[in-house]
Chain A
Amino acid sequence: MRGPGTPARRLRGSVLILVLVLISLVFVLGIVFLAYRATQYKAARQSTLAVQARQLAWVGLEQTRVKLMKDLNFPLSGDEDQLLFGLTENVYSLDGSDLVGSYRVVVDSTYSQEPYFLIRLTVTGLVGPPDRPLARRTLSAELDMATVARTPIGTSNPNPNLFQFVNFTDEGGY
């Protein structure tokens, strides 16, 4: 019979330490692998949100264009010196329960008079809560508002590009 503290008992203890080291190694490898994958999933999700933000901005552009076409009272007439008009609209899921995001529109009428007849729109699509967006994208476009064709000068022909976008810029986002 060997008592406690003999060499054999110390050897059994060393096996336990070896097993613990192996388990720790496997655990650390697993954590590293999962962290690596988590970063990839996060990047993929941000990419999806960025696409959603761009789509929201598209919606804002098209909605505003249609409003300008169909609604004579849009943008609301205020002081004649007021050249900028802004609005924000929230977008909900199909059942109306969840807020998907929103878009902010700025209608700039600085160049709406002769000879320009141009309205500039700047739309920012926001995914998630408007005060803490998960992704955002800003698009700018110019809308042709001339009812009569510009060329030849003095013509009375209708403008084929009336209410069409004549210039567009993707201002970027995240």
Chain B
Amino acid sequence: MSLAEVLTTFVLVSLLFGLMAGIAREVNSILRHSEGSDAGQQVVQNALARIRAESQQATALIAPSGTGVVNELTFDRIAPTTARLPQPAFPAPPSWEPQAAADTVRVRFFLNGSELHRQVVPGPANSQRVASSLSGFTARRLANGNLELVFSVLEENRVVARRAEIFRLVRTGP
């Protein structure tokens, strides 16, 4: 192999490595950006799935009570383990209420630092962590009766607010 061949090979291989390194750097940058965004969205998705599934069971919305924005979500729902519907159904009690106070629990979602917590009354004394890495949580009752939740999450050194509207199926209470 002549000196010219060695130099040409060296230059070509250097160019190839440089090109590959450039592409890898760009891809890494894009992936890091999208992963940061994905992680933020995942936090919101998890919290939203949990709150949606439970708040749609709400028989009465305690907070927000009006159309104002509040930093928590509190509602009553029928306790899943209650024996409100006896089996067998008969003999039946003399009177029966579908949403009797004795059959309901009060659920509260609130922000504790950067963590979203859930507290059930009556229930365990300690609240349960639902999500972390949140920088804000607000709830608002919309004019159509639905619920609007806004989660703020830190993504790539900036706070991004994500909004979700929750349809309320049970509309018999406040």
Contact = CB atoms under 8 A, between A and B. Distances in A.
Interface in B3-55: 9, 13, 16, 20, 24, 27, 38, 52-53
Interface string A98-121: 000000000000110111101000
Given A169-B57, A169-B80, A115 B94 contact: yes
Contacts of B71: none
B171 interface: yes
Contacts of B53: 170, 172
B170 interface: yes
A33 B89 contact: no
Interface string B83-121: 001000110111111110000000000000000000000
Nearest to A171: B53
Contact of B20 (A26, A33, A40, A142): A26
Given A153-B95, A170-B53, A165 B85 contact: no
Nearest to A166: B98
Given A11-B1, A164-B171, A142 B98 contact: yes
Nearest to A14: B1
A165 B169 contact: yes
Nearest to B19: A26
A15 interface: yes
A168 B78 CA distance: 9
Interface in A33-70: 33, 40, 58, 61
Contacts of B90: 113
A111 B16 CA distance: 75
Contacts of B167: 58
A90 to B, nearest CB: 23
B59 interface: yes
Interface of B: 1, 9, 13, 16, 20, 24, 27, 38, 52-53, 56-57, 59, 78, 80, 85, 89-90, 92-99, 167, 169-172
A116 B172 contact: no
A115 B56 contact: no
Interface string A79-99: 000000000000000000000
A164 B172 contact: yes
Contacts of B1: 8, 11-12
Interface string A1-34: 0000000100110010010001000100100010
A161 B85 contact: no
Interface in A151-174: 151, 153, 160-161, 164-170, 172
A167 B93 contact: no
B89 A167 contact: no
A111 B85 contact: yes
Given A12-B1, A15-B9, A116-B89, A167 B95 contact: no
Contact of A116 (B9, B20, B96, B99): B96
